[in-house]
């Protein structure tokens, strides 16, 4: 029985010795993670290392077969459906926009956990949606059908929906996948802005350099285990990148942001 | 600016520019303290227009027939007056049939809206994916074995519908349910059940077979108050349940992950609305037999008229009522004095639409 690490004093959301996977095939066993409050935590690691699985566990989309995920010291399985959705939001990897739905109507769907059968639309809902549209610069798109938008615009609209949910903690499952580099940076800047406003963000990202640049806290995973945790400065080293990703690289200081920058060696460095 | 059929003059209003923007389309309404709702103006107008059209067809249906009763006398009869003759023709013969047309049409329209929302596909309506055929099989078994009345037949239809749904689900299940696979499997199961139904009828004695055949073509002929009251009663019980599920069903249209992250208990909502949707189909089938295509077409019509991309139960219900009532009127009068079963009428109209949909969906896949 592994020893449970002491609870992080400032960590509302944590996974406590969880075993989690699909169809009873565990991807992670005895995994313990704490999400520091107010952090922009990014989970990195090679494909199939269990990053998204962990995130889905934190969002209660997957039920651990052992251990538990705790919010404020209480197992998230004891929360009501809407109750948890008012605390923890998730931008899933895949979502479907109903045919012809407008941006405003889609973002308004984010208000569901705040609504009741007899109180379906309040001024607070209206304000949250308007605010989410403004925060993601999608106000001008609000009357457009979602399926007419470009990939970058569409992703911003989904972020707006998650924002309209107004949760203190927001989980983002590979939010930049399928976007070109300009739209990736645009979205990451938006996340940084949201984080600066006091939200706790947890993202799964593929690009290590993006993670190093935008995260305040990194969690590196490999084969379903947490290999290392800490600030990008502590974590992004040539040794760790080789250990986690099996990639030989140089790490230099990013000339623009000052954070670590990973330069893969590839075959160019071979003698 | 093409006028939409069925909405008449209202189409002009519906297409005017101020209804393009959702901000303008919807207004915040606080009728009572603590009660609030976002009201889509166009949706309300469409519901009103469809309801008015339904009332108009309803009055015509009460008025015309082998004995023409002038509209003035129809209204007199409805308000408690009228001659003994008009009370018999309108009150006893035509009124229950017209009301049944409305109730059954509404039930089919709502169930179609629910299933199309669940499968995220216009083809996912109960008459295509075999639930109606299964309900018919269940009812048929009850009639042939027990010779039951409405409630027994309805119970058999509910059982048949649920069993078919379970079968289609089991066959289509592969790490979750994907809409299009469910539809393909459903069409297959539906075809198999149709031959089971034919076989059941051939095994029956002549009287039962006649009854089953008449019922099986989907018809309001000869229906009266005996069928009306149970249909209305069940409809009034089931509709509120589905209306209560509607917000969660709309969330499910975003995909399971997004819906669950927003606090929807996805499996519970899906199973419950699936079950109650089948009960609606069974209610209709037990009374009038399998009337095809109303469940398929009504939600699509309401969707195009309201411009809403998502589940809207009330407009689908009203569109279904109007469609069935109007189809029944045409079926009665087109070859008078011969009365066609309304099911024949809906197959002709809906069948063409179905083929068009199949071609369009086929291209999309």
pLDDT for A50-78, tens place per residue? 999 999 999 999 999 999 999 999 999 99
Tell which phi-psi region holds residue B2, choosing left (phi > 0), alpha (psi between -120 and 50) or beta.
Answer: beta
d(CA B47, CA B314): 7
**B177 pLDDT exceeds 90?**
no
**Residue B14 resides in a domain:** no
pLDDT of residue B102: 96
Number of domains in chain B: 1
A85/B contact by beta carbon, under 8 A: yes
Domain of B161 in residue numbering reads as 27-364
Cβ neighbours of B264 in A, within 8 Å:
81, 112
- Cα separations (Å) of B334 from A182, B110, B326, B327, B341? 64, 28, 12, 10, 11
Cβ neighbours of A95 in B, within 8 Å:
254-255, 257-258
pLDDT for A202-258, tens place per residue? 999 999 999 999 999 999 999 999 999 999 999 999 999 999 999 999 999 999 988
pLDDT for B266-277, tens place per residue? 989 988 999 999
User: For testing the chain B interface, which of A23, A82, A96 should be mutated: the one with the most B CBs within 10 Å?
Assistant: A96
Cβ neighbours of A101 in B, within 8 Å:
309-310
**Residue B15 resides in a domain:** no
**Residue B90 resides in a domain:** yes
**Would the CB atoms of A95 and B255 count as touching at under 8 Å?**
yes
pLDDT of residue B85: 85
Q: 3-state class of A39 per DSSP?
A: coil
B27/A contact by beta carbon, under 8 A: no
Segment 106-145 of chain A within 8 Å of chain B by CB:
106, 108-110, 112-113, 115, 117-123, 125-126, 142-143, 145
Angle at A128 between CA A125 and CA A133, to 5 degrees: 125
Cβ neighbours of A92 in B, within 8 Å:
255, 257-258, 261
The DSSP bridge pattern shows strands A25-35 and A88-91 to be unpaired
pLDDT for B281-328, tens place per residue? 988 988 888 888 899 999 998 988 888 778 889 999 999 999 999 999
pLDDT of residue B33: 52
pLDDT (mean) for B73-92 = 86
pLDDT for B325-344, tens place per residue? 999 999 888 887 778 888 88
Q: pLDDT confidence of B192, banded at 50, 70, 90?
A: very high
pLDDT of residue B89: 87
**Would the CB atoms of A84 and B263 count as touching at under 8 Å?**
yes
pLDDT (mean) for B227-240 = 93
**Residue B17 resides in a domain:** no
**Residue B21 resides in a domain:** no
**B36 pLDDT exceeds 90?**
no
User: Which among B34, B247, B255 has CB closest to A112?
Assistant: B247
**Residue B2 resides in a domain:** no
**Residue B1 resides in a domain:** no
B309 vs A264 pLDDT, higher one: A264
Q: Is the ipTM of this complex over 0.85?
A: yes
pLDDT of residue B18: 32
Where residue B236 sits, what CATH number does that domain have?
A: 1.10.3470.10
pLDDT of residue A187: 92
A100 vs B244 pLDDT, higher one: B244
- A55 near A231, Cβ under 8 Å? no
**Would the CB atoms of B28 and A121 count as touching at under 8 Å?**
yes
pLDDT of residue A267: 67
pLDDT for A10-34, tens place per residue? 899 999 999 998 877 788 889 999 9
Q: What share of chain B is helix, strand, coil (3-state, %, to 5)?
A: 75, 5, 25
Tell me which of A38-42, B75-79, B103-107 is least confident.
B75-79
pLDDT (mean) for B214-234 = 87
B258/A contact by beta carbon, under 8 A: yes
**Residue B262 resides in a domain:** yes
Residue B32 distance to chain A (closest CA, Å): 10
β partners of residue A20: A28
- B322 near B54, Cβ under 8 Å? yes
Q: pLDDT confidence of A270, banded at 50, 70, 90?
A: low
pLDDT of residue B24: 41
- Cα separations (Å) of B120 from A139, B131, B137, B173, B183? 27, 17, 26, 16, 11
- Using a pLDDT cut of 70, give the percent of chain B over it: 87
pTM of the model: 0.85
pLDDT for A99-123, tens place per residue? 888 999 999 999 999 988 777 778 8
The DSSP bridge pattern shows strands A249-253 and A225-230 to be unpaired
pLDDT (mean) for A36-53 = 93
pLDDT of residue A271: 54
Q: pLDDT confidence of B12, banded at 50, 70, 90?
A: very low
Q: pLDDT confidence of B90, banded at 50, 70, 90?
A: confident
B230 vs B33 pLDDT, higher one: B230
Residue B364 distance to chain A (closest CA, Å): 13
């Amino acid at each position: 029985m592994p020893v449970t690490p002491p609870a992080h004093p400032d960590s509302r959301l944590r996974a406590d010795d969880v075993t989690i996977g699909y169809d009873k095939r565990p991807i992670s066993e005895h995994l313990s993670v704490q999400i520091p409050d107010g952090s922009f935590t990014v989970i990195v690691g090679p494909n199939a290392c269990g990053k998204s699985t962990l995130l889905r566990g934190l969002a209660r989309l997957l039920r651990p077969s052992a251990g538990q995920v705790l919010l404020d010291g209480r197992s998230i399985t004891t929360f009501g459906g809407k109750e948890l959705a008012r605390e923890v939001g998730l931008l899933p990897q895949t979502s479907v926009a109903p045919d012809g739905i407008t941006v405003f109507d889609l973002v308004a769907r984010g208000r569901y956990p705040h609504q009741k059968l007899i109180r379906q639309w309040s001024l607070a809902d209206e304000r949250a949606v308007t605010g989410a549209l403004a925060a993601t610069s999608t106000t001008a798109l609000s009357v457009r059908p979602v399926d007419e938008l470009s990939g970058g615009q569409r992703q911003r609209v989904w972020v707006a929906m998650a924002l309209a949910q107004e949760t203190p903690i927001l989980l983002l499952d590979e939010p930049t996948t399928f976007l070109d580099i300009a739209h990736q940076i645009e979205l990451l800047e938006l996340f940084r802005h949201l984080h600066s406003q006091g939200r706790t963000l947890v993202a799964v990202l593929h690009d290590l350099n993006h993670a190093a640049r935008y995260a305040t806290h990194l969690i590196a995973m490999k084969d379903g285990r947490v290999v290392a945790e800490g600030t990008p400065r502590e974590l992004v080293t040539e040794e760790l990148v080789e250990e986690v990703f099996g990639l030989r690289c140089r790490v230099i200081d990013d000339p623009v942001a000052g954070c670590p920058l990973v330069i893969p060696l590839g075959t160019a460095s071979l003698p | 600016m093409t006028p939409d059929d069925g909405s008449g003059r209202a189409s002009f209003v519906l297409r005017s520019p101020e209804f393009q923007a959702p901000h303008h389309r919807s207004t915040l309404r606080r009728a009572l303290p603590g009660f609030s709702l976002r009201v889509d103006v166009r949706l309300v107008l469409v519901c009103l227009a469809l309801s008015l059209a339904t009332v108009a067809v309803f009055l015509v249906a009460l008025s015309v027939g082998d004995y023409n009763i002038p509209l003035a006398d129809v209204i007199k009869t409805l308000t408690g007056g009228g001659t003994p003759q008009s009370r018999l023709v309108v009150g006893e013969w035509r009124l229950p049939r017209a009301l049944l047309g409305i109730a059954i049409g509404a039930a089919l329209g709502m169930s179609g809206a629910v299933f199309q929302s669940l499968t995220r596909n216009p083809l996912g309506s109960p008459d295509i994916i075999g639930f109606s055929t299964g309900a018919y099989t269940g009812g048929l078994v009850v009639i042939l074995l027990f010779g039951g009345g409405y409630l027994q037949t309805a119970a058999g239809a509910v059982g048949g519908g649920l069993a078919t749904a379970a079968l289609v689900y089991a066959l289509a299940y592969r790490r979750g349910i994907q809409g299009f696979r469910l539809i393909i499997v459903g069409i297959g199961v539906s075809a198999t059940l149709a031959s089971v139904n034919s076989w059941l009828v051939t095994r029956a004695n002549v009287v039962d077979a006649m009854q089953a055949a008449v019922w099986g073509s989907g018809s309001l002929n000869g229906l009266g108050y005996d069928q009306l009251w149970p249909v209305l009663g069940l409809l009034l019980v089931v509709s509120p349940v589905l209306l209560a599920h509607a917000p969660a069903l709309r969330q499910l249209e975003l995909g399971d992950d997004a819906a669950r992250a927003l606090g929807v208990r996805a499996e519970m909502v899906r199973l419950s609305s699936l079950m109650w949707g089948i009960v609606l189909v069974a209610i209709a089938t037990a009374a009038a037999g399998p009337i095809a295509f109303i469940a398929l077409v009504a939600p699509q019509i309401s969707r195009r008229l309201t411009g809403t991309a998502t589940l809207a139960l009330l407009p689908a219900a009203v569109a279904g009522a109007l469609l069935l009532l109007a189809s029944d009127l045409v079926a009665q009068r087109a070859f008078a004095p011969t009365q066609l079963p309304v099911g024949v009428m809906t197959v002709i109209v809906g069948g063409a639409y179905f083929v068009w949909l199949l071609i369009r969906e086929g291209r999309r896949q």
